[in-house]
Amino acid sequence: MSKSPQSIVVLSGAGISAESGIETFRSEDGLWANHPVDEVATPEGFARNPSLVYEFYNMRRRQLLSDKIRPNAAHTALAKFEHEFPGSFLLVTQNIDNLHERAGSQNLLHMHGELLKMRCLNSKMVFDIRKDIGFDTHCRCCRSPGNVRPHIVWFGEMPFHMQQINSALQSCDLFVAIGTSGNVYPASGFYQTAKIRKAHTVELNLEETGSAFDSHVYGPATEVVPAYFEALLAT
């Protein structure tokens, strides 16, 4: 990268939360190794067996809200950078945990939704939640309970905030992906959109993903993310 960046877009994936104790999806003992995706992360799976889907996300929400799970040095480094960087900064996360918020990130978009939110199937209204949801859950818009679903994007559904994300990708001069395997579209194509606009693209990940970023730094997020963004701020 020749000159200091003016506009940065960062994309994070499950790898940034791994060292906080939240399992990733595609590691050997990851979430998808123990839960069939089509049963717990598709609209069809929810229609077929809502109880299984409610419990899958209730279990992950209970874990997230336990005092063992907290932001790590990578989350903190990103929030610190955002507040000290003079240019424009957008953090797009594929993660449904709230660790970026808890670390202090503000200009943040959850493109796959949030574990601590539920949505009414009738009104589409979204509500904050911090407890289990199920057939007995009341939303504030319906008279009867049981009309809610996790406010999470399942396979086959359109991610949130895509217009805003694409607009930011087209005007950034630096794109950084952190802790994502690049397996799921459209997030996996963001670096190519940025590249078309001549942005410099960087991948910070534990291991190679085979994606054609301009540069790569491999290692655990709690080491490579603070080092990368501290150096960037010094340029």
Which residues contribute to the site for ligand APR (CB under 6 A)? 13-15, 18-19, 24-26, 30, 94, 112, 179-181, 183-184, 205-207, 209, 220-221
100, 112, 151, 200: the active-site residue:
112
- Measured from the CB atom, the residue of 147 and 188 that comes closer to ligand APR is 188
Instruction: State in angstroms the smallest separation of the CB of 54 from ligand APR.
Output: 18
Instruction: State in angstroms the smallest separation of the CB of 9 from ligand APR.
Output: 16
161 tagged catalytic: no
Instruction: State in angstroms the smallest separation of the CB of 208 from ligand APR.
Output: 9
- SS3 letters across the chain: CCCCCCEEEEEECCHHHHCCCCCCCCCCCCHHHHCCHHHHCCHHHHHHCHHHHHHHHHHHHHHHHCCCCCCCHHHHHHHHHHHHCCCEEEEEECCCCCHHHHHCCCCEEECCEEEEEEEECCCCCEEECCCCCCCCCCCCCCCCCCCEEEEECCCCCCCCCHHHHHHHHHHCCEEEEECCCCCCCCHHHHHHHHHHCCCEEEEEECCCCCCCCCEEEECCHHHHHHHHHHHHHHC
- Measured from the CB atom, the residue of 147 and 209 that comes closer to ligand APR is 209
Q: Which residue has the CB atom at the shortest distance from ligand APR?
A: 15
- Measured from the CB atom, the residue of 5 and 179 that comes closer to ligand APR is 179
- Measured from the CB atom, the residue of 45 and 179 that comes closer to ligand APR is 179
CB atoms within 10 A of CB 57: 21
Instruction: State in angstroms the smallest separation of the CB of 184 from ligand APR.
Output: 4
> What is the length of the chain?
235
Instruction: State in angstroms the smallest separation of the CB of 62 from ligand APR.
Output: 19
- Measured from the CB atom, the residue of 164 and 183 that comes closer to ligand APR is 183
> Per-residue b/e over 26-50, b at no fewer than 16 CB within 10 Å?
eeeeebeeebeeeebbbeebbeeee
Catalytic residues, by residue number, are 112
